[in-house]
Amino acid sequence: MLVFVPPHPLIKHWVSVLRNEQTPCAIFKSAMSELGRLLIYEASRDWLPTITGEIETPVAVASVEFIDPREPVLVIPILRAGLALAEQASSVLPATKTYHLGLRRDEETLEPSIYLNNLPDKIPEGTRVLVVDPMLATGGTIVAAIDLLIERGVTSKQIKVVSAVAAPPALQKLNNKFPGLHVYTGIIDPEVNEKGFIVPGLGDAGDRSFA
């Protein structure tokens, strides 16, 4: 598995805004959306299929390269907090299809349960899949989400995960289970506390985006 923390000052900036407990809900949500835009841009580097051809500019014929619209990236936001991170996916990526997954962690056991699954029964071979969840804490949620994709014919090499903050337990679990995966995150924090919060983290991203 490969984990990328793109070294960009704008990424650091938006992570810092998200971390601040004084950041109000509306700003938190727009900061998450900006961070999503930057991380999705980084994750899509060298990943998107292109088609080439020639077009006429007002001056001359030019060789051109476009993103192939026949092979959309499947964007999978994990509700709720993934919605804000995925908000810009369709403006960054010219061809996308979005399928929502709703997973909620039990506050006591920290086990995830699925309350919404909009995935198609079968995902065509070779499809590129972008899973978007702001926090990878214990890793239970992201592993459950990727398991649903694998059941539908996707291999871990086809999947990129975008998150705002990742913690070692989640990265360890993902590495053990899905070695071909690529993870893009704004920052890696050192630990997860007994309540399942990333430390120092940014709190409960779902509540801070939508409460």
Contact call for residue 186 and ligand PRP (CB under 6 A): no
| Site membership for ligand PRP, residue 134 (CB under 6 A) | yes
Q: Judged by CB, which is closer to ligand PRP: 72, or 181? A: 181
Task: Report how far residue 44's alpha carbon sits from residue 192's, in angstroms, rounded to the nearest whole number.
Answer: 29
Report the alpha-carbon distance of residue 33 to residue 25 in Å, rounded.
12
The owner of tokens 């940014």 is 202
CA neighbor of 155 nearest in space, from 134, 177, 171, 138: 177
Rounded to a whole number of angstroms, the minimum distance from the CB of residue 69 to ligand PRP is 30
Q: Which C-beta is closer to ligand PRP: that of 186 or that of 206?
A: 206
Q: With beta carbons less than 8 A apart as the criterion, state whether 40 and 160 touch.
A: no
Q: To the nearest whole angstrom, how small is the minimum distance from the Cβ of residue 38 to ligand PRP?
A: 19
Least distance in Å: CB of 102 to ligand PRP? 8
165 near ligand PRP, judged by CB under 6 A: no
Contact between 78 and ligand PRP per CB under 6 A: yes
Residues 135, 117: Cα–Cα separation, whole Å: 19
Q: Does 170 bind ligand PRP (CB under 6 A)?
A: yes
46: alpha, beta or left? (left if phi > 0; alpha if psi -120 to 50): left
The count of chain residues that interact with ligand PRP, using the rule CB under 6 A, is 23
DSSP β-bridge partners for residue 131: 76, 161
205 binds ligand PRP (CB under 6 A): yes
Residues 6+ apart with CB under 8 A from 22: none
Which tokens sit at 106? 């039990």
Site string for ligand PRP, 82-121 (x = CB under 6 A): ----------------------xx----x-x---------
Q: How far is the CB of 205 from ligand PRP (least distance, A)?
A: 5
Residue positions counted in the chain:
211
Residue 32 engages ligand PRP in binding (rule: CB under 6 A): no
- Chain residues in the site for ligand PRP (CB under 6 A): 78-81, 104-105, 110, 112, 133-142, 170, 196, 204-206
